[in-house]
Structure 1
Amino acid sequence: MKNINKIFGKGALLVLLISGCTDFVDPVIPYKDFDTGAYLRTIERTSDSFNFFDLPSSNFALILESVDGNDGLNLRSVEIRVRHRRLIPDVGLEYLPEIGDEDRLVLTLSENDFSPNSESRFTRATFSIPAADAITAVGLSEEDIEQGDVFEFRLVLTDNKGRVFSNHNRSSDVAGGNFYASPFFYNVTVVCPSNLDGTFNFTTTNISAGTGGNAGACGGTVSGKVVLEQTSAAQYSLSDASFGVFGCAWNDDPPAGSLRLTDACGLLQFTGTDKYGDPYTITIVSNDGASLTFNWVNAYGDGGTTTLTADDEDFVFPDNLRTN
Structure 2
Amino acid sequence: MKYFTILLGMILLVGACKTEVVDKIDERNMEQGGYIRTVTPYPVVNSTFSVSKANMGGTKLELVAEAVTPDYGAMFASYDLSIAFVDATPANGTKTTTAVALKSLAASTFAKDAQTGYPRATITVTGTEALTATKLALTDISAGDYFTITGVMKLTNGKSYTASNTGVNITGGAFYSSPFSYRLNVAN
Instruction: Work out whether residues 112 and 118 of structure 2, in 8 Å CA contact, stay in contact via their aligned partners in 1.
Output: yes
Once the two structures are superposed, the pairs formed by residues 12-91 of structure 1 within 5 Å of their partners are: 35-45=31-41, 48-88=49-89
TM-score of the superposed pair, with normalisation by structure 1: 0.44
Aligned-partner SS, 1:162: coil
CA distance in 2, matches of 1:94, 1:138: 10
- 2:187 is the counterpart of 1:186: no
Gaps in structure 2 of 5+ consecutive residues: 1-26, 43-47
Residue 119 of structure 2 corresponds to 123
CA distance in 1, matches of 2:151, 2:74: 18
Residue 209 of structure 1 corresponds to none
CA distance in 2, matches of 1:178, 1:119: 20
Once the two structures are superposed, the pairs formed by residues 190-205 of structure 1 within 5 Å of their partners are: 190-192=186-188
Instruction: Work out whether residues 66 and 124 of structure 1, in 8 Å CA contact, stay in contact via their aligned partners in 2.
Output: yes
How big is the shift at 1:191?
Answer: 1.6
- RMSD over aligned Cα, in angstroms? 2.3
Counting aligned pairs with the same residue, the percent is 24
Residue 96 of structure 2 corresponds to 95
From 129, 133, 137, give the equivalent of 1:133. Answer: 129
Residue 142 of structure 2 corresponds to 146
From 155, 158, 164, give the equivalent of 2:151. Answer: 155
Q: Which has the larger radius of gyration?
A: 2
Residue 108 of structure 1 corresponds to 104
Instruction: Work out whether residues 176 and 182 of structure 1, in 8 Å CA contact, stay in contact via their aligned partners in 2.
Output: yes
Instruction: Work out whether residues 88 and 94 of structure 1, in 8 Å CA contact, stay in contact via their aligned partners in 2.
Output: no
**Runs (4+) off by over 3 Å:** none
Once the two structures are superposed, the pairs formed by residues 241-252 of structure 1 within 5 Å of their partners are: none
Number of residue pairs the alignment of both structures matches: 153
The structure with higher relative contact order (CA 8 Å, sep 6+) is 2
CA distance in 1, matches of 2:89, 2:166: 30
CA distance in 1, matches of 2:89, 2:55: 23
Instruction: Work out whether residues 87 and 94 of structure 1, in 8 Å CA contact, stay in contact via their aligned partners in 2.
Output: no
Letter in 2 for 1:187: R
Aligned-partner SS, 1:134: helix
TM-score of the superposed pair, with normalisation by structure 2: 0.74
Structure with more helix by fraction: 2
Aligned-partner SS, 2:178: coil
Residue 20 of structure 2 corresponds to none
Aligned-partner SS, 2:164: coil
Gaps in structure 1 of 5+ consecutive residues: 1-27, 29-33, 98-102, 193-324
Once the two structures are superposed, the pairs formed by residues 165-176 of structure 1 within 5 Å of their partners are: 165-176=161-172
CA distance in 2, matches of 1:170, 1:95: 27
Residue 213 of structure 1 corresponds to none
Instruction: Work out whether residues 89 and 145 of structure 2, in 8 Å CA contact, stay in contact via their aligned partners in 1.
Output: no
